Amino acid sequence: MSASTSIYDQCLAAYFETNDAASADDSSLEATLARQQYLLKCISESNAESINTFFLVYASSLVFFMQAGFAMLCAGSVQKKNVQNTMLKNLLDACGAAIGFYSVGYAFAYGGSEDCFKTGCEKTFIGLSNFFLSGVVNHIFWLFQFAFAATSATIVAGTLAERCQMRAYMCYS
C-alpha cells in the first residue's frame, strides 16, 4: 500500500482481502462475524491513535497559551517603561526554548529511554541519543514536552522582572 492511504483504507482493503479469500472457503456466519470484528478492531485502533494525537496537540496549545498568560501577568506587574522589556524576555524565552529543546533538551530528557523500555537495559542519568530529534518518530510528544519547557522558562521572567539586566537574564534563561 502507498504511504498516502489512510489507516481506514488499509483496514478496509485488508478486510476485503480476507473476505475474498474466506468466501471461497467458508461463508458461515462465524467467519463473517470474525471478519466484521477484525474491521471494527482495526478502525477503533486507528481512531484511538487519532484521538491521542489530537489531545496532545490541544493540550500543547493550552500549555503554550499559559506562556501568553504569564507574559500578561508580568506586563501588569511592572512599571510602564519596562513592559516592552518584559514582553521581549517572554518572546525570547519561547524562541530559546524551541532551539534548546530541539537541539539538546529532548535528547537529555528522553534520549535512549525507548530502548530501555523494550530491552530492560539500565537507564543513564542523561540521554545519549535523539539530538536534534534524530530518530524521533513521535513529534507530537516532542511538541507537548516543548510547551512545558518553554512555559517553565517563562515563569522565571516574571520572578526577575525589573530585577536584572537583559544580558544577565539571557545568560540565565
Euclidean distance between CA atoms 136 and 114, whole angstroms: 10
Q: In the chain, pLDDT over 70 holds for what percent of residues?
A: 84
Place of cell 537507564: 123
Average pLDDT over residues 5-15: 74
Q: Is 21 a residue whose pLDDT tops 70?
A: no
28-37: long-range pairs with CB below 8 Å, 24+:
none
- Residues 120-139: pLDDT tens digits? 666 677 888 889 998 888 89
Q: Average pLDDT over the chain, rounded to whole?
A: 82
Q: Is 2 a residue whose pLDDT tops 70?
A: no
Q: In the chain, pLDDT over 90 holds for what percent of residues?
A: 34
pTM of the model: 0.72
pLDDT band at 140 (very low <50, low <70, confident <90, very high): very high
Place of cell 474491521: 39
Structure confidence at residue 153 (pLDDT)? 86
Q: What angle do CA 2, 5, 32 make, to 5 degrees?
A: 105
Q: Which residue has the higher pLDDT, 139 or 117?
A: 139
Highest mean pLDDT among 13-17, 25-29, 78-82: 78-82
Asked if 131 contacts 110 with a C-beta cutoff of 8 angstroms, the reply is: no
Cβ neighbour number for residue 124 with a 10 Å cutoff: 11
Structure confidence at residue 168 (pLDDT)? 85
